[in-house]
Amino acid sequence: MAVLICGGAGYIGSHVFNELLNRNIETVIIDSLEYGHKDAIKECKNFYQGSIGDADLLQTIFKKHDIDSVMHLCAYIEVGESVNNPAKYYTNNLVYSITLLNCMIRANIKNFIFSSTAAVYGEPEKIPLKEEYRKEPTNPYGDSKLALEKILTWYRKAYDFNYVALRYFNASGAHPDGHIGEDHNPETHLIPLILQVPLGKREAIKIFGDNYNTPDGTCLRDYVHVCDLAEAHIEAMNYLKNGGKSESFNLGNGNGFSVREVIDVARKVTGHPIPVEICPRRDGDSSELIASSGLAQLLLGWSPKITSLETIIETAWNWHKNHPNGYNDK
């Protein structure tokens, strides 16, 4: 039996593919390559360039390959863009995802692993965040993810179908051997933006607000290594294949690091002073987002292995300094 990774040439998807490859699990990838990179999945033997909104292509894939599980990681992810262009986000993240689900139902594929997000919670009710807490997304990106989670609950009731939704916190780092890593254009994640300073791509890193109610005045975030996220996808798949019931799980480190802490550790790792520029707060930024991943540990047997912020940044720096232009394929 094979696994289909939708968005398998992206940042997290390529790390999931690498882990499946290491475990000798047959894998098929569909990716539009709008943001993904073919060089991130050089060893993939079953690659299809296209969209999950293309029902004919999906039906071809499901007929040609003996797929029993689908992993969905091909959403648009930029919060600011989602506010300015919600149609793009609801079309891709929701409408196309429904096309994928409907093709799965027709092909009698029962196991669905969905890449969700901590953005489903909006402003946190309490810290650390638990799965049952209030969900009020503050942007169309988070809302599109929550909407699909709700749809999944109805599909589970109506069809012979089960799902796991994985609510990532801040995906970060790169594969420790340095052959794959993070390459977004535009880049919006804090760690690669910080590392652009020692790479000579920007003069300083902007801190958006230094007057939050946190120990050093800057926002606290939960950074989880991308290889740990990859393992969580496989644990989620095995959980479903072994009869586990549909569920949503937070995936985080469980520790909060401030923007200033991340910059200080990056200075240590790179040996660069990394100047900062203090800017006004951005709308919609929560002061603190930290996960409780206890449910994932209990039911999936998952907990992060790479928990040191310094190690996370070391793996990222190893990738970026050796690939200053990423995959250099755009």
Distance CA 87, CA 130 (A): 30
pLDDT at 30: 98
pLDDT tens digit string along 35-81?
999 999 999 999 999 999 999 999 999 999 999 999 999 999 998 89
End-to-end CA distance of the chain: 34
* Phi and psi angles of residue 27, each rounded to the nearest 5 degrees, phi first: -130, 140
pLDDT at 286: 85
pLDDT at 233: 98
Q: Output DSSP code: residue 199.
A: T
Residue 139: band (very low, low, confident or very high) from pLDDT cuts 50, 70, 90: very high
Q: Catalytic positions, please?
A: 141
pLDDT at 316: 98
pLDDT at 283: 79
pLDDT tens digit string along 72-101?
999 999 988 999 999 999 999 999 999 999
Q: Output DSSP code: residue 287.
A: S
Q: Answer whether residue 282 shows pLDDT above 90.
A: no
Residue 255: band (very low, low, confident or very high) from pLDDT cuts 50, 70, 90: very high
Helix (H, G, I), strand (E, B) or coil at 170: strand
β-strand partners of 246: none
Count, residues in the chain: 330
Helix (H, G, I), strand (E, B) or coil at 182: coil
2-171+224-251 has CATH 3.40.80.10 classification: no
pLDDT tens digit string along 171-191?
999 999 999 999 999 999 999
Distance CA 317, CA 320 (A): 5
- CA-angle at 215, arms to 212 and 219, nearest 5°: 45
Q: Answer whether residue 313 shows pLDDT above 90.
A: yes
The secondary structure of 63-106 as a DSSP string is HHS-EEEEEE------HHHHHH-HHHHHIIIIIHHHHHHHHHHH
Q: Answer whether residue 285 shows pLDDT above 90.
A: no
Residue 25: is it exposed, middle or buried by C-beta count within 10 angstroms (0-12/13-18/19+)?
Answer: middle
pLDDT at 306: 97
Kindly give the interhelix angle for 96-106 and 140-158, rounded to the nearest 10 degrees: 20
How confident is the model over 274-302, as a mean pLDDT?
Answer: 94
- Give the number of other Cβ atoms within 10 Å of residue 107's Cβ: 15
Q: Answer whether residue 141 shows pLDDT above 90.
A: yes
Q: What does the domain layout of the chain look like in residue ranges?
A: 2-171+224-251, 190-221+254-322
* Cα distances (angstroms) measured from residue 289 to each of 7, 23, 67, 126, 253: 26, 33, 36, 9, 11
Residues 6+ apart with CB under 8 A from 112: 69, 70, 72, 101, 104, 152, 161, 162, 163, 164, 240
pLDDT at 202: 97
pLDDT at 271: 98
Place of tokens 């800017």: 279
Encoding tokens for residue 163? Answer: 């799902």
pLDDT tens digit string along 189-236?
999 999 999 999 999 999 999 999 999 999 999 999 999 999 999 999
pLDDT at 154: 98
Q: Of the CATH numbers 3.40.50.2300, 3.40.50.300, 3.90.550.10, 3.90.25.10, which one belongs to the domain with range 190-221+254-322?
A: 3.90.25.10
Residue 328: band (very low, low, confident or very high) from pLDDT cuts 50, 70, 90: confident
Mean pLDDT of the chain: 97
